Amino acid sequence: MDSQLLPVLLLLLLQASGPWGQGPGTEGPSAEPPKEEVSEEDGVLVLSRHTLSLALREHPALLVEFYAPWCGHCKALAPEYSKAAALLAAESAKTRLAKVDGPAEPELTKEFAVTEYPTLKFFRDGNRTHPEDYTGPREAKGIAEWLRRRMGSSATRLEDEEGTQALIDAQDVVVIGFFQDLQDEDVATFLALAQDAVDMTFGLTDQPQLFQTFGLTKDTVVLFKKFDEGRADFPVDEELGLDQEELSRFLLTHSMHLVTEFNSQTSPKIFAARILNHLLLFINQTLAPHQELLADFREAATPFRGQVLFVVVDVGADNNHVLQYFGLKAEEAPTLRFINTETTKKYTPAERGPVTAASVTAFCHAVLSGKFKPYLLSQEVPPDWDQRPVKTLVGKNFEQVAFDETKNVFIKFYAPWCTHSKEMAPAWEALAKKYRDHKDIIIAELDATANELEAFVVHAFPTLKYFPAGPGRKVIEYKSARDLETLSKFLDNGGKLSEEEPTKESLAPFLETPANSTSEPKEEL
């Protein structure tokens, strides 16, 4: 080789092999990707599996929402989430809000066991292994307050009567813990509860003069309110200490008005009160004779506090969904209805008499003692219920059709307002047309918001159930894909699928009636 070419070849080899001859240089195909930066959208950090660790290192307090682009509840939360981020930013708070597109980041959803959307998790001090589940409200102020109470004190320390009275006067409901020793375990229990109860203002004190001012001789949690009794005391058990669950139930019960008017603002609190029995008075607030009934209704409520929640529903307001749920028309007011929200059983007075304190009390006692039978809603059977490919069922003809021992009956239980029910309607109609000539197969549907069944309660829409022919009243719940091919395969195999997998599309949560609990709205993966 020409000796003049040797230095040139060595130089080329060194350039190709990178530093110290250990492989391709920084411009080669195996070069490390450029470091990703965390992006923002409306004040909310947008994270991926590559940037989550970076965000955890940079932010000591991080609330992360796992969402799905198709999730309706996520879309409803989005503007409130951004407002909460803006509120915290205006305070120069250390807490940041972030979000992760769950379907696009399966590794993260698996790591954090995300099974429904939206799911929110709170990370503190970069701890990736033990995030705290978010348990707060879904509106901006509530989100911000939930985070503030985790990063600071959840209760105001009170030293004198002037400051205590100022706190009491500032809000409709104020909770103050009077503890002789602020190092006691009961104080930690009190503060832990205060972290989550963001709709109430909390204070605490150990000052003897304040015990004296408010007539206390032992540790007590006092709820001050600007309505009804004005004050409710929860003495701390000297032997067992402060029970957080019992205190929570006490505060929820006594922070409610004796009589609560049902509307979009009060409904979440009504269902969060954990009182299963609700008595509803339906009136027209524009009519003076109807308004006069409220005094008697309130009088009857006092002895039932904590056992029965007394609720007023204005039939003249936007409460048609409540009327529909109880099978009522506005012109039937004034009238009473009783419901147990756990069993969803409804009760109506035996006779339509005047609404007085005595009649309301007697009705409550009768229902609670088991003397009344619940009633079931049912529409009338349409004359042409069996004329279309999809048969129309109601409460009054459900039993005879569904449990006909000579027929295999496939029923869709739906809600008229449910988007998932609407989306699968064409496939259900196509299925009915495909099997219309099979004498032993019936494809039917039932509006479960207008018809109730003694056999079972429908909690989600659409719910699909298969009732095979033969004795025994067997019922098989269908939980697979809702396309024509899979539905047909299910029928052809006698109510079975060889590899039945849950559908990716979730069942729409049944959250829009007074009978349902207020667990946070979410959609399954």
Catalytic residues: 71-74
Nearest Cα to 108, choosing from 35, 33, 55? Answer: 55
Looking at residue 330, what DSSP letter applies? G
Cβ neighbourhood burial of 375 (10 Å; 0-12, 13-18, 19+): middle
The CA distance from 389 to 230, in Å, is: 61
Do β-strands 346-347 and 335-340 pair in parallel, antiparallel, or remain unpaired?
A: antiparallel
Nearest Cα to 486, choosing from 472, 498, 474, 477? Answer: 498
Nearest Cα to 481, choosing from 464, 468, 466? Answer: 464
Residues in the chain, overall count:
525
The CA distance from 515 to 276, in Å, is: 9
10's CB contacts (< 8 A; 6+ apart) are none
Could you tell me the two tokens for 501? Answer: 């997998």
The CA distance from 236 to 259, in Å, is: 28
Other C-beta atoms lying within 10 Å of the C-beta of residue 91? 11
Asked whether the beta carbons of 176 and 167 are under 8 A apart, the reply is yes
Q: What is the dihedral of CA 300, 301, 307, 309, to 10 degrees?
A: 130
